[in-house]
């Protein structure tokens, strides 16, 4: 991991029992279970909201969960979709998927409201290809525009955020209890 890579704070919404367990060291970071749903927006990994503790709490609460874990994350070799280099690589990964599915005579999975099956598949393909090179991707990062406009005609949406997924748990340098309302 490049020691000069960006360090960010991330917030993970979860069950309160899990939050307490990891914060007290009963569960180790290396044992933190990755999300591996076929519809995960940014592929398989541990999901965080970048610099957005209230968004993590809102998400957790909407799913009847009450925990949020703060983490210090070194992005390392990041598949960062704020950079055109990586969005172009994602387009190439998609084209490879199209060819693979066409050759197999199978329909290409599609994204549907809230279930980003095709995005997950394309990102996982790109990440898995990186594992064969010297510096595999350790994290994935992407802005998401979500929610209602902040006011009429606004291009700013109320639930927009930067989401990250950590593939390499060594990128999680430490965890902390967020301080809400301060």
Q: Strands 161-166, 46-50: parallel, antiparallel or unpaired by DSSP?
A: antiparallel
pLDDT at 118: 95
Range of the domain at 149: 7-176
Q: Is residue 90 part of a domain?
A: yes
**Residue 173 host element (H or E):** strand 172-176
Q: Number of folded domains in the chain?
A: 1
Helix 117-130 crosses helix 84-104 at what angle (to 10 degrees)? 110
Q: Is residue 97 part of a domain?
A: yes
Write out pLDDT tens, residues 129-142.
Answer: 876 677 899 999 99
In terms of Cα–Cα distance, which of 5, 10, 40, 2 is closest to 135? Answer: 2
pLDDT > 90? residue 181: no
Work out the average pLDDT over 27-51.
Answer: 94
User: DSSP for 130-165?
Assistant: HTTSSS---EEEEEE--SSBSSTT-S-BTT-EEEEE
Question: Sign (positive/negative) of CA torsion 94, 95, 101, 106?
Answer: positive
Q: Is residue 85 part of a domain?
A: yes
Write out pLDDT tens, residues 58-106.
Answer: 999 998 888 999 999 999 999 999 999 999 999 999 999 999 999 999 9
Q: Is residue 182 part of a domain?
A: no
- The pTM of the full predicted model, rounded to 2 decimals, is 0.90
Q: Is residue 1 part of a domain?
A: no
Q: Is residue 2 part of a domain?
A: no
């Amino acid at each position: 991991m490049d020691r000069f890579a960006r360090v960010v704070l991330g917030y993970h919404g979860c069950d309160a029992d899990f939050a307490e367990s990891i914060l007290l060291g009963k569960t180790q970071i290396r044992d933190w279970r990755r999300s591996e749903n076929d519809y995960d927006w940014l592929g398989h990994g541990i999901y965080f909201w970048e610099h957005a503790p209230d968004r993590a709490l809102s998400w957790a609460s909407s799913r009847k969960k009450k925990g949020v874990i703060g983490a210090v994350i070194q992005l390392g070799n990041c598949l960062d979709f704020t950079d055109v280099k990586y969005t172009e690589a994602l387009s190439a990964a998609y084209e490879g998927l199209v060819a693979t599915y066409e050759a197999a005579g199978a329909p290409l999975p599609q994204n549907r409201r809230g279930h980003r099956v095709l995005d997950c598949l394309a990102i996982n393909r790109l990440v898995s290809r990186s594992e064969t090179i010297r510096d595999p991707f350790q994290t994935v990062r992407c802005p998401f525009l979500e929610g209602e406009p902040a006011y009429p005609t606004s291009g700013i949406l109320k639930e927009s955020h930067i989401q990250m997924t950590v593939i390499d748990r060594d990128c999680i340098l430490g965890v902390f209890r967020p301080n809400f309302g301060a």
